[in-house]
Amino acid sequence: MIYLDSTGPRLVPLGSQVLRVNGSGADAELELSEGDKIELPEATFEITRQAGGRPDTAAGSAVWVLEGPAGGLFGMAHSPFLVGGSAEDDLHVANWPEAALCFRTVEGGLEVEASVSVDVGGTVVGAGESHRVRRGQTLSIGGSTVKVVTGGELASGSTASLERSDRVTKARLEFLPRGGRLHLTLAGEIFSVYLTDRRCDLVAVLLQPPEPFTAGQAIEDAHVLSRVWGKKQVDRTHLNVLLHRVRKDLSRIGLDGPALIQRSEGGGATRFVLSSDAEVALE
């Protein structure tokens, strides 16, 4: 399956055929670029760009700047913005856990949510907690530090995700052989995103939780862990990483992932934010 999201084309292997991209084997979801060649046993496809493209965002977007451990400066051109040790993170910091920090612009300021314990200007913020940060503050994990250098009206052409206060009025999760496709309706507009296996399982639990919970309520971690991972021994760190991945999937299609999937204060429970009369369907 090949589909287009807000960042560009993506490929998701669904079958058992040998699949190669630019000569290398492909067995997991990946981003595609113009000129990439997708090879199947009996066909080859090339990614090309249609004339036109997306319009630039209006000038004057608020941009915050981080200083990495080596002194490099990195503009947070979109919100949320992930910092961690994974190649999927927006800013890579060696030896940090995947999606260790999730920065979000809120009401003209900047907020960070931690998936692991982090020292923010001398204050310890625990895993699953959020903290408002300001210019000049440093955030440290395991001896490596990033610093909030500045923020404000610095650049035009930002690719910031749409900030939406609308709540989901309809949620439909369509199961596929490897994962599922989530369709959300907000303010009369439908947004769709593909979710890989475990990400799909997490959303399924939040939309159709075990009794006595109902969709939209905060589901305790114990229930989520057992439904998503079964008998496998995992902890909240695994859940926090998975949450960040799902939120990033939602943010890629222009939604506010952290606002849609929220952790309770201090952690311990997770909910998918829905309107009080939302329609929910799992197919």
Domain ranges for the chain: 2-46, 61-155, 168-282
The structure's pTM equals 0.51
pLDDT at position 108, please? Answer: 65
> In this predicted model, what pLDDT tens digit does every residue of 17-60 receive, in sequence order?
788 999 888 888 888 888 899 998 888 899 887 654 433 433 34
Burial zone of 71 (CB within 10 Å; 0-12 exposed, 13-18 middle, 19+ buried): exposed
pLDDT at position 26, please? Answer: 86
Spell out the long-range contacts of 90-97 with Cβ–Cβ below 8 A and sequence spacing 24 or more. Answer: 91/66, 91/146, 93/68, 93/69, 93/141, 93/144, 93/146, 94/69, 94/144, 95/142, 95/144, 96/141, 96/142, 96/144, 97/141, 97/237, 97/241
How far from the centroid of its chain's Cα atoms is residue 168's Cα? 17
Does the pLDDT value for residue 7 go beyond 50? yes
Q: At what angle do helices 197-207 and 221-229 cross, to 10 degrees?
A: 140
Does the pLDDT value for residue 240 go beyond 90? no
Residue 124: phi and psi, rounded to 5, are -85, 120
Taking alpha carbons only, the member of 234, 236, 232, 204 closest to residue 220 is 236
Tell me the CATH number for domain 168-282: 1.10.10.10
How far from the centroid of its chain's Cα atoms is residue 56's Cα? 22
Q: pLDDT band for position 4 (50/70/90)?
A: low
- The two three-digit tokens of residue 191, written as one number: 């947004």
Does the pLDDT value for residue 5 go beyond 50? yes
Q: pLDDT band for position 189 (50/70/90)?
A: confident
Q: At what angle do helices 197-207 and 236-252 cross, to 10 degrees?
A: 90
Does the pLDDT value for residue 120 go beyond 50? yes
- Pairing outcome for strands 109-114 and 130-133: antiparallel
> In this predicted model, what pLDDT tens digit does every residue of 79-115 receive, in sequence order?
888 999 998 898 999 999 999 999 988 776 788 999 9
Residue 183, SS3 per DSSP: strand
Does the pLDDT value for residue 133 go beyond 80? yes
Task: Calculate what percentage of the chain has a pLDDT beyond 70.
Answer: 86
User: Could you tell me the strand order of the sheet in which 37-40 lies?
Assistant: 24-25, 20-21, 37-40, 43-46
pLDDT at position 48, please? Answer: 86
Q: What is the mean pLDDT of the segment spanning 207-232? A: 91
Q: pLDDT band for position 154 (50/70/90)?
A: very low
Taking alpha carbons only, the member of 160, 165, 176 closest to residue 273 is 165
Q: What is the mean pLDDT of the segment spanning 238-242? A: 88
Architecture of domain 61-155: Sandwich (2.60)
Q: Please check whether the two domains, 61-155 and 168-282, share a CATH topology.
A: no
